[in-house]
């Protein structure tokens, strides 16, 4: 598995810590920025990750910003992306199992780094459950095609 990871200035330090966890888990990643805590615009980084996910260059993505919300909103503008804000281990797991989410957006300012690590572990331990959820995800794809 290979993922793309990126953060804005609010999530930079947490991104750097999560890279250590990804190394520990044996997950290959492309770090698409930012490279410091200097102020940047989160949509630029959300787009980079989302486009790589949508093109199939990576399997999944992880984004970090202050609340996770801005990154998720921006990433979800790219067709083929289903980004979910992972506020807890359970929400991250359910986003993968029920929604086939392919990008995890994390709230860097509202969760301590050790909790973010547990959320990321839960995300990568989960997989899409299919079954009754497949029909719902297909309806999301249909909405994308119509727009």
CB count within 10 Å of CB 124 equals: 20
> Which pLDDT does position 6 carry in this prediction?
98
> Which pLDDT does position 113 carry in this prediction?
83
State yes or no: is 65 an active-site residue: yes
Kindly name the residue from 4, 40, 65, 122 that is annotated as catalytic.
Answer: 65
> Which pLDDT does position 23 carry in this prediction?
98
37-46 pLDDT, tens digit each: 999 999 999 9
Exposure b/e, 2-33, CB count within 10 A at least 16 = b: ebbbbbbbbbbebbeebeebbeeeebebeebb
Kindly name the residue from 16, 97, 98, 115 that is annotated as catalytic.
Answer: 98
Domains in the chain: boundaries? 2-146
Multiple choice CATH, 2-146, 3.40.1400.10, 3.90.1150.10, 3.30.1360.70, 3.30.420.10: 3.40.1400.10
104-122 pLDDT, tens digit each: 999 999 998 889 999 999 9
The verdict on pTM exceeding 0.85 is: yes
Give average pLDDT by consecutive 10-residue segment, the chain, 147 residues.
98 97 98 98 98 98 98 98 98 98 97 93 97 95 92
């Amino acid at each position: 598995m290979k993922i793309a990871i990126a953060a804005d200035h609010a999530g930079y330090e947490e991104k750097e810590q999560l890279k250590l966890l990804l190394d520990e888990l044996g997950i290959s990643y492309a770090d698409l920025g930012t490279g410091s805590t200097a102020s940047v615009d989160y949509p630029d980084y959300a787009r980079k990750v989302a486009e790589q996910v949508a093109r199939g260059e990576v399997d999944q993505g992880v984004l970090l910003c202050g609340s996770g919300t801005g990154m998720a909103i921006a990433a979800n503008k790219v067709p083929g992306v289903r980004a979910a804000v992972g506020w807890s281990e359970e929400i991250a797991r359910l986003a993968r199992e029920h929604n086939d989410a392919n990008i995890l957006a994390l709230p860097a300012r509202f969760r301590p780094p050790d909790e973010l690590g547990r959320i990321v572990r839960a995300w990568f331990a989960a997989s899409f459950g299919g079954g009754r959820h497949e029909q719902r995800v297909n309806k999301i794809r249909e909405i994308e095609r119509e727009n």
